[in-house]
Structure 1
Amino acid sequence: MNVLIVCDSVFGNTQKIADAMRSAMDSEKVVMCRPHEVTAGPLDHIDMLIVGSPTRAFHPTKPTTDFIHRLSPNQLKGVSALAFDTRIASQDVSSKALRIVIKLLGYAAKKIAKKLHHKRAHLLLQPEGFYVTGYEGPLKEGECTRAAQWARAAIKLSQANNKD
């Protein structure tokens, strides 16, 4: 299986999550790059696309959004996809007003998934968030392990779907 992981990272936490996913997919052919590095070539022969971004002002980063917008309308038809982000858990936010805004506006992963779906990708799993302990991190304990498990589950699901 050919997997492309497109990951933007501001403080390095999202990159660590993507690295954990790549390590978990050791039996697959995995290419990882930043959103601005993706050209049409790597997209031509992929079976799975994983897109990750830190949540910035309740959205994915601009490079992540720009990457998805550059895709042609049907470019991801037949491609399995996953969307993830890094975020601060709403219960860890001290401001009640900010917790309400988080509840209303959400996080980046769901927005990434929606954009991938509009490009005709098949979303294997629900968008996932991985938690940091503060604005700049670090990651909460166990998040890289959880990311690796999530990636392995997606590979198994994709392989099972391909057998049908």
Structure 2
Amino acid sequence: MKALVIYDSLYGNTEQIAKAISGALGAEAKAVRVGEVKPDELAAYSLIIIGSPTQGGRATPAIKTFLANLPADALKDKRLAAFDTRNKSFLVKMFGWAATRIEAAIKAKGGNTTAQPQGFFVKGTKGPLVDGELERAATWAKAIAAGVPTNLMPGDYEVKKKE
């Protein structure tokens, strides 16, 4: 399956997650920063995953602009998913997360997500990633590829690992 992970990253955390996702999806997957992908390139991929750091409860301006400028049919018949990086602050919970807003933008363009939006945690506002998040991202990606439920919360990876 050809997969494309489109991301924006400010401190490198979202980029690390995007690369863990693409690595878990195999040789026909790649992670690309949002400014380096053109809408007409999406036709070549059956799975597209879009991620952003959460800023004020939203995706970065680059991700929002990319999604807003997509042609109406660019996401048609694609398997789609959204993720973000976030901290555990109560303010972030109050304002929401980038992943749910990315999912809403995907749906507004006529796309349908095949996985629940997923958040990956950072320490503080700049990171680094919380221990185990790269592994959880890889597990989430493999679940998407296999078509199984994808609501993996922190700690799920460790439980599955022990089985």
Bin the TM-score by the shorter chain: 0.7 to 0.9
Aligned to 1:13: 13
**Bigger radius of gyration, 1 or 2?**
1
CA distance in 1, matches of 2:39, 2:54: 26
Alpha-carbon deviation of 1:72? 1.1
Counterpart of 2:147 in 1: which secondary structure? helix
Flag structure 1 segments of 5+ consecutive residues without an equivalent: 91-98, 159-164
Letter in 2 for 1:73: A
Counterpart of 1:73 in 2: which secondary structure? coil
Alpha-carbon deviation of 1:70? 1.2
What's the C-alpha RMSD, in Å, of the aligned pairs? 1.4
Alpha-carbon deviation of 1:42? 1.8
Letter in 2 for 1:110: T
TM-score, normalisation: structure 1? 0.85
Instruction: Determine if contact 1:52/1:85 at 8 Å carries over to the other structure.
Output: yes
Alpha-carbon deviation of 1:120? 1.7
Aligned to 2:92: 102
- State the aligned residue count: 148
Flag structure 2 segments of 5+ consecutive residues without an equivalent: 149-163
Counterpart of 1:123 in 2: which secondary structure? coil
Deviation string 1:130-150 (CA, Å, 9 cap, x unpaired) is 000111100000000000000
Instruction: Determine if contact 2:84/2:98 at 8 Å carries over to the other structure.
Output: yes
Instruction: Determine if contact 1:38/1:67 at 8 Å carries over to the other structure.
Output: no
* 1:132 pairs with 2:131: no
Alpha-carbon deviation of 1:41? 3.6
